């Protein structure tokens, strides 16, 4: 079949490889060629974790209780731009609904199905393409500030262990033996021994994109304006109409309007994330470190140290507020000794494409089972890229998948 993939971020690029494996002809359509940092495409600037141990959705009863207090701090880990509040209300209502214990359990089960398949597929893909030097496996640390945070981490650890994830509660001293630059201010830490991280999200997304072209995929620089499902599936682009046997829509946050044009009103919004990168700074830490109580992470990418995270609801048009990045850096300074000066870092903001139940959309459009959606991966798109691609390949082949796809349907809302 000839398949058009709209969007060449990490999801579209991973899909290209899975479809090339099956002998299809693949064209990737993206105005930027592949994801670029300047557009805010998160595939080009994320934190680089293959965080396959993260199986809990964002929504939880505890989160609903804590959120109002967090929102009081405009530079804190969770913020809403006042101008975006009205537009966000339906999303927030769904988030609150997704925080019911039964809904949290359903999202957790669906996340487990994706997450536990994520790393093996990443390893297989990078090995097959000779890109395995981009994957590092030194485990990941989640630092905990207080005895109360240590206590509340226990339930999550039990659940992760039940799901076969390698994870242990360790003391703050043990964590500092692993990462001596951490200051002596923690109550404990969670260690994921088999967590992985990548060289640099832009480098690896670009390397996978180039590898897809080397395998015969074609890149076309064009912007998709709409999709058509009458007759042969087609993309209406600023460079003309492109028809194909099937289409994959993988345009991250920009998928919302395109899916709406086909009658799928998906409650996709963006959790804007910020980071500062210190190119060339290596060796300060040697594995990913998350500061759980503060909503940010530090990653020792091959390209340099990156510090970032946090969530800001502000839509896709508002300019970045890098006071937030400064606040993240100031927090990081309290936890890591020897950081380079803030002013020497490169600032970035990107758009996580997020759904209120923390599950992506991986499924057919309402209008045609030849138009397949693959977007909305929120905080975990880098991690879930190749498992998503495998499921998309199953759908194109019209074969049943290893996992139940109902929780990921666009029509679940």
Ligand X SMILES: Cc1cc2nc3c(=O)[nH]c(=O)nc-3n(C[C@H](O)[C@H](O)[C@H](O)COP(=O)(O)OP(=O)(O)OC[C@H]3O[C@@H](n4cnc5c(N)ncnc54)[C@H](O)[C@@H]3O)c2cc1C
Q: Quote the distance between the C-alpha of residue 207 and its chain's center.
A: 18
Are 75 and 294 spatial neighbours (Cβ–Cβ below 8 Å)?
no
CB of 98 to ligand X, least distance (A): 18
Residue 173: its H or E element: helix 172-178
Give me the residues that bind ligand X (CB under 6 A), please. 6-12, 29-32, 35, 39, 41-43, 46-49, 51, 223-224, 250-254, 273, 275, 308-309, 350, 352-353, 375, 377-383
Are 367 and 226 spatial neighbours (Cβ–Cβ below 8 Å)?
no
Q: Which is nearer to ligand X, 223 or 333 (CB)?
A: 223
236, two tokens: 């209406």
Q: Which is nearer to ligand X, 172 or 385 (CB)?
A: 385
Angle at 188 between CA 184 and CA 191, to 5 degrees: 115
DSSP per residue, 270-318: EEEEEEEEEET--SS-SS-EEETTTTEEEEEETTEEEEEEEEEE-TTTS
Q: Which is nearer to ligand X, 262 or 380 (CB)?
A: 380
Nearest to 143 by CA among 199, 197, 184: 184
CB of 314 to ligand X, least distance (A): 13
Q: Which is nearer to ligand X, 172 or 311 (CB)?
A: 311
Q: Which is nearer to ligand X, 179 or 271 (CB)?
A: 271
Q: Which is nearer to ligand X, 150 or 298 (CB)?
A: 298
Q: Which is nearer to ligand X, 172 or 296 (CB)?
A: 296
405, two tokens: 């796809």
Q: What are the backbone angles phi and psi of residue 395, rounded to the nearest 5°?
A: -65, -40
CB of 393 to ligand X, least distance (A): 16
Q: Which is nearer to ligand X, 26 or 172 (CB)?
A: 26
Strand partners, 352: 271
Q: Which is nearer to ligand X, 281 or 388 (CB)?
A: 388
22, two tokens: 């099956």
CB of 272 to ligand X, least distance (A): 7
Nearest to 204 by CA among 377, 17, 376, 339: 17
* Contacts of 111 by beta carbon, 8 Å cutoff, 6+ apart: 54, 55, 56, 57, 358, 359
153, two tokens: 């981490």
CB of 147 to ligand X, least distance (A): 28
The radius of gyration of the chain from alpha carbons, rounded to an integer in Å, stands at 20
CB of 8 to ligand X, least distance (A): 5
Q: Which is nearer to ligand X, 24 or 37 (CB)?
A: 37
CB of 171 to ligand X, least distance (A): 25
What is residue 32's DSSP assignment?
T
Q: What are the backbone angles phi and psi of residue 365, rounded to the nearest 5°?
A: -75, 160
CB of 184 to ligand X, least distance (A): 26
Q: Which is nearer to ligand X, 43 or 107 (CB)?
A: 43
Handedness of CA 399, 404, 406, 410 (dihedral sign): negative
CB of 344 to ligand X, least distance (A): 20
132, two tokens: 């395995």
CB of 72 to ligand X, least distance (A): 22
Residue 219: its H or E element: strand 218-220
* Contacts of 66 by beta carbon, 8 Å cutoff, 6+ apart: none
CB of 237 to ligand X, least distance (A): 7
């Amino acid at each position: 079949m000839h398949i058009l993939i709209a969007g060449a971020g990490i999801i579209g690029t991973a899909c290209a490889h899975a479809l090339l494996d099956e002998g299809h002809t693949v064209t990737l359509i993206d105005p930027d060629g592949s994801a670029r940092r300047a557009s805010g495409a998160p595939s080009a600037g994320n934190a680089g974790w293959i965080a396959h141990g993260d199986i809990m959705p964002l929504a939880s009863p505890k989160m609903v209780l804590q959120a109002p207090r967090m929102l009081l701090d405009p530079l804190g880990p969770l913020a809403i731009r006042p101008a975006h509040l009205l537009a966000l209300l339906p999303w927030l209502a769904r988030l609150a609904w997704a925080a019911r214990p039964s809904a949290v359990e359903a999202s957790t089960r669906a996340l487990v199905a994706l997450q536990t398949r994520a790393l093996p597929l990443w390893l297989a893909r990078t090995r097959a393409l000779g890109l395995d030097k981009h994957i590092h496996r030194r485990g990941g640390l989640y630092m905990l500030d207080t005895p109360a945070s240590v206590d509340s981490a226990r339930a999550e650890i039990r659940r992760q262990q039940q799901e076969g994830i390698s994870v242990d509660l360790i003391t703050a001293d043990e964590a500092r033996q692993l990462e001596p630059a951490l200051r002596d201010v923690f109550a404990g830490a969670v260690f994921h021994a088999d967590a992985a991280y990548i060289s640099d999200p832009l480098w690896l997304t670009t390397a996978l994109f180039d590898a897809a072209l080397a395998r015969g995929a074609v890149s076309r620089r064009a912007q998709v304006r709409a999709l058509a499902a009458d007759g042969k599936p087609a993309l209406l682009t600023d460079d003309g109409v492109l028809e194909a046997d099937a289409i994959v829509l993988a345009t991250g946050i920009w998928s919302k309007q395109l899916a709406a044009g086909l009658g799928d009103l998906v409650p996709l919004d963006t959790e804007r994330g910020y980071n500062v990168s210190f190119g060339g700074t290596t060796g300060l830490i040697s594995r990913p470190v998350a500061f759980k109580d503060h909503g940010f992470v530090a990653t020792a990418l091959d390209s340099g140290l990156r510090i970032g995270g946090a969530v800001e609801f502000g839509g896709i048009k508002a300019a970045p507020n890098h006071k937030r990045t400064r606040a993240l850096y100031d927090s990081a300074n309290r936890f890591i000794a020897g950081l380079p000066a803030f002013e020497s870092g490169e600032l970035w903001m990107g758009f996580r494409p997020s759904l209120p139940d923390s599950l992506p959309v991986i499924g057919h459009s309402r209008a045609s089972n030849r138009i397949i959606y693959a977007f909305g991966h929120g905080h975990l798109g880098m991690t879930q890229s190749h498992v998503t691609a495998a499921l998309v390949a199953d759908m194109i082949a019209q074969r049943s998948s290893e996992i139940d796809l109902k929780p990921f349907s666009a029509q679940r809302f």
